[in-house]
Structure 1
């Protein structure tokens, strides 16, 4: 019988284990932390010295960097205005240096990604040169004889200049996105014992690391197979026990398996199987994740370990019979493409905003995301697993092929490493292993396809997808990119068909005028035209046979691009992630009943009132119900057509209530969503009256600001009337001040503060410090007066960071002893009018060749 002391200790152990599962939501090299993990992980983001431009001898240990700026990663080499397209971003070299004391033996620095070409130096010695901006770089400090307590300087030269020798390869001035520079993802320091689980990226081999795959999946049972590769770097034979424990989402142990091995110096693999009865299967509708805890034990000591969040699901692409998930034919896959950049900071987006992006797309009713056009941040992939959105992971590339074999080999290596990094994610549905909209050789196409099969040689592997018109795709690939109607043609392909990008209707490729592109700042009518255009093209995704399995909208977020002076304004959200009417339209794809009015009741609003709803019918009432209409919602599978109430809004009719009858309170509009005869949701509008006050909110979406010095949240100031209605037509500039443990992201050059009001609101980005605490935000109009809108104040609280940091405190100085050595290069590629015309025609032709124009 247990003593009371043992019972208490057992309870504490269980509580600690469960708490660990609940609190740690950041993976490092594919593993989430566990209690008594063996390996140690430090957040390596703080206290980097940074200099924009090339600097002679910056790799040297004794180089004087005291005058350089102190930054935290993720970091963009230069803050950019909200409209930074047309190659206005910096391209060239930049330097980072970090001073630290090695906290443990056998340490490695793990960069999640650095844009472009990188040279990494350890204490003045070149550690690695890496080509490509989207995958990890791992530097082993052991190879430089560094041990616990040693001083170290790591220096990084990051160059985001155009380079045709690694993918994507295309120069930015001809590119549909931007090469935002910098160490723009997280950096970690990982220390391991002399026996450890290998990394497939560090080892550069498929059988390294932890690979979780499955067999015999059904609603009744499933086999979870865990391949674990261990390396012994000691000079003696080790007797180990490899243990895998499957834990449910509440922390309850379901099953534990273990196997003893004897391993001399070198590496060895173990394959273990856990058979489950009545497994909870992963799907976008029910994204259930099990926690698989892996430990490498020697006696009672854990030498290495971590947790993999796994989702058990079976996927099948049955050609004419469509896509099947977990043994059942699945509904249409409808979603969007996603570029990773954000307003001001380029690609330097913290993990919280990666999660919020996925949450926004989930709220839009999307069930799939295609990464455009490169692998995304690991935290973005984790969020797709957690929230339930399928992912198509793309190899970097867009409309560019280099005949030099070094380019091809680097593309193929990218694909291998992408699969090794992301293979355990249940959200991964397809690999796109080729170069998007590119004329490449048949041999390359077949090599790329074979990599997807060699790297994932097990059942339920993600499909390989590519453009139907590309070499080798129609005859060999698992899924083809095409259009609704391709499945009805006499020469229809045998595979499932998916539209990789829908929604674009441009006038010509030079002008890029387009009815689905509307800057939020343009106001109500352009946004409404955009939303109705996207509603039409989205509806077309539901009109074909089972063989046509869905499509991805181009593009849910406004983003910067190289070859056009305008940002891509076709997003359902702007670059700050503020919603447009298109987001309200897409919410109808979800299962939650919604009713959204797309009319602001201004003097310039359309007389036809558009309501987006997925209910059975919508009742629209005006003037406290004096006027009322009810119309049905037309449904096609999960698509719901917009409901249009013709002539419902009349400004002069509303003016009569306000001006003549002196009863402006009656000027209101209410939409009610009705299901089975009952009102299940309601939306209300009133015209905004005079601007009287500002209102502040933090767009946290339930995820608090973390005090790690890197996290940020969007804070929005809205101009409202006395009743809290947003004054959409207000024209003000809002000045923000922040005190406490937060800082506005601004360098005084990007019009971030004061910020102009656009369609009723002005956003800022608020970054945390490394000290948790209260942050006080004040917003006021730049030019106050008797009748100007009154200021607003908001207090928010940042929460403590739960991990450990590794850094030596740095302090900013105003000048640098090395300023004379700095050569700053700004991107300034000059093209003649004829060169621009030729380049744009090439882009347009590639689009046409691969079906973008249908």
Structure 2
């Protein structure tokens, strides 16, 4: 029995079929459902239906069944006419990124909620396609891509390895069948990549893999892709290559009008594959200048290279590309981490993340992911910050104001131009630390020092971002990075909790060398412990993240964060409370097995104890008293300077 329901639960189609199955035998049943005026799935509007399948016995009792979310959509690759979705040419190149599903501390042992949050963060950044490098990823990620409107390239597991033994190819063929059978009902599947990544396999292998996908998905809208330089690529409808207008060393010299082209990896630009120096590889804690260079490299560098701008200048036949890579991660083949992500391994954004976000449409929509206008100032106002101020925005105009009563500058986006939707905005020779110093020290106008960016559309301010210089470290901030999802008490779910060093006004002090120690009470534990510097955690670029995992029991979790070496002049501690919720499904486990799972944080290198509210209030009072004393010293110093 098949019942198809709209998102609101209303039935739109129903079908049943009577079958007889003899003991020990199997049958195949084929049926077809017609849906009139369907709500079509797309990245912009990822509508999902519920297909409920039930098996009833002769008396009508339900004895088995399941629910599958499906989307109704058509995809076509039309060679020189490019990519078509739901019977129409798709409006723009599909820009996305590759993804490994590993995470800080836990590696590949990633909870389902993390897969959803990853997809949400990437969709917030305006990405519309993900390449599962280099293997099928958890079904939870595929579900999230269905829900959030992310196309996916699904890969056969394999990377730079071939064995001539016949059983090797047979095992790969088995992987392909299982891969397609598992994921073929996901509307997010844009393309199958059944070949082995960057591998010199025989030509007949390429043809066999293409045929296997067609056997497992013998329906329309089934397409597979292959590297343009690989053996046997001639039979594939979609080929991976670089656009000819960017990287002439890697691009195909002559395009076939029947073939559609896509760049499966772009952005990485190493000097060699041993040293791995690249303008794309930037750890977040390396600071402003390096992150600005990474963003420029990904956007539109002044040297010929595949970038966001280039992918928007290609003919329709080249339909987009996936950045290498969405997140920092620890590779298997090289000892050094990969630092080329838009976000670090804890999913904390770099400047490039906001540059990508500025390429999304400014149109506001009611979606699970972020939409609408944005503006972001990529400048920290430190003594080492550049004179030029970089801003990322998808608005028609950006107005930048420097200090209260100071100068105001306006950028207007060209109405008609080729290339990326929103070029990087640079306001030249704006910031001057000496002006900050003079206003702060001589004129007592420290609060009037700031950068304010206002994004305007049709003359109205629709987005703002303000940056102030961070003054003396005064307190810790503590927040949860969970994309508004709840922590489930299933013993494996976890959330990221981030501590930051800030001044008294809450401005994050990016440049400091503190360590933060965490204490946790209640139904949670800190993952990693002292073994991987998870606790105490080093502050990098102003923040120190940890992973907090649930126990098997729902309840409150209290987290306290303090600087490692406390004292009367040190930043005040912070507290945060969250609550884990009951698991969505019954947990099946033996009590003796559960007893083996540590439900408290791993052992610490430093003794950490929770603080009472009274102790925290006292600590804050001492801090305020010390600040008053420092103000007195500051005034004495200022008076001395004036007399001199």
**TM-score, scaled to structure 1:** 0.66
The answer as to 2:399 corresponding to 1:619 is yes
Partner of 2:550: 768
Partner of 1:424: 185
Shift of 1:429: 0.7
Residue of 584, 601, 605 corresponding to 2:381: 601
The answer as to 2:231 corresponding to 1:471 is yes
Distance 2:99 2:157 in 1: 13
Shift of 1:351: 0.1
Residue of 517, 535, 542 corresponding to 2:312: 542
Shift of 1:674: 1.2
Aligned residues: 570
Partner of 1:59: none
CA contact (8 A) 2:242 2:252 kept: no
Partner of 1:296: 55
Partner of 2:169: 408
CA contact (8 A) 1:336 1:366 kept: yes
Shift of 1:624: 2.2
Change (3 A) 1:658 1:747: closer
Two-structure CA RMSD over aligned residues (Å): 1.5
Residue of 330, 338, 346 corresponding to 1:560: 330
Shift of 1:271: 2.0
Shift of 1:389: 0.3
Distance 1:455 1:737 in 2: 52
Partner of 1:329: 89
Deviations 1:288-335 (A, max 9, x none): 000011101112210110111000001000000000000111121100
Distance 2:50 2:255 in 1: 46
Shift of 1:341: 0.9
Residue of 400, 411, 416 corresponding to 1:631: 411
CA contact (8 A) 1:632 1:643 kept: no
Partner of 1:745: 527
Q: Which moved more, 1:492-501 or 1:770-779?
A: 492-501
The answer as to 2:203 corresponding to 1:442 is yes
Partner of 1:69: none
Map 1:24-63 → 2, pairs under 5 A: none
The answer as to 2:287 corresponding to 1:523 is yes
Distance 1:422 1:471 in 2: 26
Deviations 1:352-397 (A, max 9, x none): 0000000011011000000110000000000000000000001111
| Stretches (4+) displaced over 4 A | 486-489, 634-638
Distance 1:703 1:386 in 2: 14
Distance 2:259 2:405 in 1: 53
Map 1:677-688 → 2, pairs under 5 A: 677-688=459-470
The answer as to 2:303 corresponding to 1:533 is no
Residue of 661, 666, 672 corresponding to 2:443: 661
Shift of 1:746: 2.1
Map 1:235-634 → 2, pairs under 5 A: 243-265=1-23, 266-298=25-57, 299-330=59-90, 331-461=92-222, 463-473=223-233, 475-485=234-244, 489-492=253-256, 494-536=258-300, 537-591=307-361, 592-634=372-414
CA contact (8 A) 2:81 2:317 kept: yes
Distance 1:383 1:322 in 2: 26
Partner of 1:756: 538
Between Structure 1 and Structure 2, the one with more strand by share is 1
3-state SS of 1:507 partner: coil
CA contact (8 A) 1:484 1:543 kept: no
Map 1:9-158 → 2, pairs under 5 A: none
Deviations 1:759-789 (A, max 9, x none): 0000000000111111000000010111101
Deviations 1:596-639 (A, max 9, x none): 11001111111111101111121111112521110123564663
CA contact (8 A) 1:366 1:589 kept: no
Change (3 A) 1:481 1:493: farther
Change (3 A) 1:663 1:452: same
CA contact (8 A) 1:736 1:778 kept: yes
Deviations 1:773-831 (A, max 9, x none): 110000000101111011000000111112112221123499xxxxxxxxxxxxxxxxx
Distance 1:671 1:640 in 2: 15
Distance 1:434 1:735 in 2: 47
The answer as to 2:499 corresponding to 1:712 is no
Deviations 1:89-141 (A, max 9, x none): xxxxxxxxxxxxxxxxxxxxxxxxxxxxxxxxxxxxxxxxxxxxxxxxxxxxx
Q: Note the residue ranges of structure 2 that are not aligned, 5 or more in a row.
A: 246-250, 301-306, 362-371, 599-644
**TM-score, scaled to structure 2:** 0.87
Distance 1:466 1:488 in 2: 13
Deviations 1:192-230 (A, max 9, x none): xxxxxxxxxxxxxxxxxxxxxxxxxxxxxxxxxxxxxxx
Deviations 1:242-295 (A, max 9, x none): x11111111122221112223322222222222122110000000000001110
Partner of 1:41: none
3-state SS of 2:373 partner: coil
Distance 1:713 1:595 in 2: 27
Partner of 2:368: none
Deviations 1:658-717 (A, max 9, x none): 111110111011111111111111111000001000010011101110010000000000
Partner of 1:692: 474
Change (3 A) 1:674 1:498: same
Q: Which moved more, 1:593-602 or 1:798-807?
A: 798-807
Partner of 1:652: 434
Shift of 1:422: 0.4
Change (3 A) 1:279 1:466: same
Distance 2:382 2:9 in 1: 53
CA contact (8 A) 2:4 2:11 kept: yes
3-state SS of 2:17 partner: strand
Shift of 1:407: 1.3
Deviations 1:478-534 (A, max 9, x none): 200011127994454631100000111112222111101110111111111111111
